[in-house]
Amino acid sequence: MNNTEQPKAIVVIFGATGDLANRKLYPSLYKLFNKDKLSKDFAVVGVARRPLSSEEFRQNVKDSINETLKKTQNLEEFSSHFYYHPFDVTNRSSYLELKDLLYELDHTYKTEGNRIFYLAMAPEFFGTIASQLKEEGLTNTDGYSRLVIEKPFGHDLPSAKQLNEQIRQAFTEDQIYRIDHYLGKEMVQNIEVIRFANAIFEPLWNNRFISNIQVTSSEVLGVEDRGRYYETSGAMRDMVQNHMLQMVSLLAMEPPIRLTTEEIRSEKIKVLRALRPIPEHDVKNFFVRGQYDAGEINDKPVPGYRNENSVDPQSNTETFVAGKLLIDNFRWAGVPFYIRTGKRMKVKSTKIVVQFKDIPMNLYMKKEEDKVQNPNLLVIHIQPDEGITLHLNAKKSGQNMQTTPVKLDFCNNCTDGFNTPEAYEKLIYDCLRGDATNFTHWDEVGLSWSFTDPISKVWEQQIETDFPNYHAGTMGPKASDELLEKDGYHWWPINDLEQ
């Protein structure tokens, strides 16, 4: 399939009245519709418990799009494709009524039996819905049936396995689209292109020329109203097991022999297999955890994590993680990949910094104080700004042969930022077109849990007496800086605000 294709399908959204559906899914479908990427032969069926008519549902969809997007047009036409079917997903008999509705809509919209079942609901329902869809024959059509499943995919390896086995009884691996919305981000997708389409980077992309790689994903927000969920998750499960390890695997993978889903996934899987496991007794040497205290964000006081709604006042949950990852293969032996992610940090940013090794001899060092070299850095800005910056050294103007750092900037969202498609828009379109490249394969999910589980286990068994250990509005606990200092490195500032 190509990018101009207008797929025909019915999209069934379970959790149609929820936050994700309203904030992300409806606006994304609407953008696809307005860009002519959706055929006019499509329908959306919303499922949730609260009793709404299809008319009321359409109004909610229009409202959520108007709230999210600045300019709207064709909303009436778009929303006329939406239908609402209220039921409790644990109620088996209701699936038969949904099946009848889908047959009817198939006929009305000539969707050729193509169905996408999008599970935008709490994970405890994933297995039940998948089983019921199969048992009641909703997946038995002339077209395709695909299951889109949101994170979290399990809580640890055993629970993820159990969930996977359950959904695999109803859907084959190639029908399952596990969402990691980071994989839909423009600049995350760009990692592959920067690496494999530029002769100046790929030959240097190894332990001979790179000293370390740093991946930061920092948020300014706290847990907001998700305290209950976050207490069972923490930053390790919420961010590291999925988004952070996905970015590491894209940075570290070998060039695929072809740009097919199978080849790309297979290279990413090899990276996850080569991650050096952290034994329990070594966790403290490789990983740091943090929890935010009260502090100030944008000159306004904000509460500490333990004072947030639905959070245990003695909580042992981490809101910050920093770690050092080693990849045991020929390309990366000896190169640390540092990752850090957290809530209530100083700046909101997702960035990758590739630090190249120092040149063997500094010809331009005249005095002792010039010793501090400016290493070459390649910075990939993922969000909120999108782009690439290459840090080089050039001659300082004047008589002396002194160097000064210069930056070559490419800003993706400066030129066409407003048109950069949202991650969900791209991922929904990929799913409609049957392209699973930017979704996670079960092997990736399983290997990621295998890596993070021993660390989580140690942290759960040991109460962190230092918590809270960083103030809101900072870049995390001191131990995060020390993690790099002991290797002779430091975190590169995320932007000028942080310096």
Residues annotated catalytic, as ranges? 243
Residue in 122, 392, 406, 463 binding ligand NAP, rule: CB under 6 A: 122
**Smallest distance from the beta carbon of 236 to ligand NAP, in angstroms?**
16
* Chain centre to alpha carbon of residue 163: 20
Give 26 or 489: the residue with its C-beta nearer to ligand NAP: 26
Residue in 7, 15, 154, 477 binding ligand NAP, rule: CB under 6 A: 15
20 touches ligand NAP by CB under 6 A: yes
Give 36 or 225: the residue with its C-beta nearer to ligand NAP: 225
> Minimal CB distance to ligand NAP: which residue?
18
**Smallest distance from the beta carbon of 61 to ligand NAP, in angstroms?**
13
242 touches ligand NAP by CB under 6 A: no
Give 115 or 151: the residue with its C-beta nearer to ligand NAP: 151
Give 120 or 427: the residue with its C-beta nearer to ligand NAP: 120
Burial 464-488 (b: 16+ CB within 10 A, else e): eeebbbbbbbbbbbebbbebbeeee
458 touches ligand NAP by CB under 6 A: no
**Smallest distance from the beta carbon of 492 to ligand NAP, in angstroms?**
28
**Smallest distance from the beta carbon of 51 to ligand NAP, in angstroms?**
9
Give 12 or 379: the residue with its C-beta nearer to ligand NAP: 12
d(CA 498, CA 475): 8
Residue in 12, 16, 245, 475 binding ligand NAP, rule: CB under 6 A: 16
**Smallest distance from the beta carbon of 117 to ligand NAP, in angstroms?**
13
Contact segment (CB under 6 A) with ligand NAP among 9-17, 367-375, 392-400, 457-465 equals 9-17
**Smallest distance from the beta carbon of 105 to ligand NAP, in angstroms?**
19
β 82-84/42-47 pair status? parallel
Instruction: Using the Cα atoms of residue 280, residue 285, residue 287 and residue 291 in order, give the sign of their dihedral.
Output: positive
Chain residues 388-447 in contact with ligand NAP, contact rule CB under 6 A: none
Q: Greatest CA span in the chain, whole angstroms?
A: 84
d(CA 118, CA 175): 12
Chain residues 23-82 in contact with ligand NAP, contact rule CB under 6 A: 48-50
d(CA 359, CA 209): 9
17 touches ligand NAP by CB under 6 A: yes
Give 243 or 289: the residue with its C-beta nearer to ligand NAP: 243
**Smallest distance from the beta carbon of 18 to ligand NAP, in angstroms?**
2
163 touches ligand NAP by CB under 6 A: no
Site string for ligand NAP, 73-92 (x = CB under 6 A): ---------------xxx--
β 403-411/337-342 pair status? unpaired
219 touches ligand NAP by CB under 6 A: no
**Smallest distance from the beta carbon of 284 to ligand NAP, in angstroms?**
30
151 touches ligand NAP by CB under 6 A: yes
Residue in 29, 45, 121, 170 binding ligand NAP, rule: CB under 6 A: 121
> For residue 440, what are its two tokens?
């996670």
Residue in 1, 5, 19, 359 binding ligand NAP, rule: CB under 6 A: 19
* Chain centre to alpha carbon of residue 336: 21
Q: What are phi and psi of 295, to 5 degrees?
A: -175, -160
Residue recorded with tokens 């998948």: 130
Burial 269-301 (b: 16+ CB within 10 A, else e): bbbbebbeebeeeebeebbbbbbbbbbeeeeee
Residue in 98, 120, 138, 327 binding ligand NAP, rule: CB under 6 A: 120
Give 252 or 311: the residue with its C-beta nearer to ligand NAP: 311
Q: Which of 461, 470, 454, 492 lies closest to 289, judged by CA?
A: 470
Q: What are phi and psi of 404, to 5 degrees?
A: -140, 145
Give 89 or 274: the residue with its C-beta nearer to ligand NAP: 89
Please report, as a single letter, which amino acid is at residue 376. Answer: N
Please report, as a single letter, which amino acid is at residue 344. Answer: R
Residue in 123, 143, 303, 434 binding ligand NAP, rule: CB under 6 A: 123
Contact segment (CB under 6 A) with ligand NAP among 11-19, 187-195, 422-430, 487-495 equals 11-19
Give 68 or 402: the residue with its C-beta nearer to ligand NAP: 68
Report yes or no: 359 and 331 within 8 Å, Cβ to Cβ. no
* Interface residue list for ligand NAP (CB under 6 A): 15-21, 48-50, 88-90, 120-123, 150-151
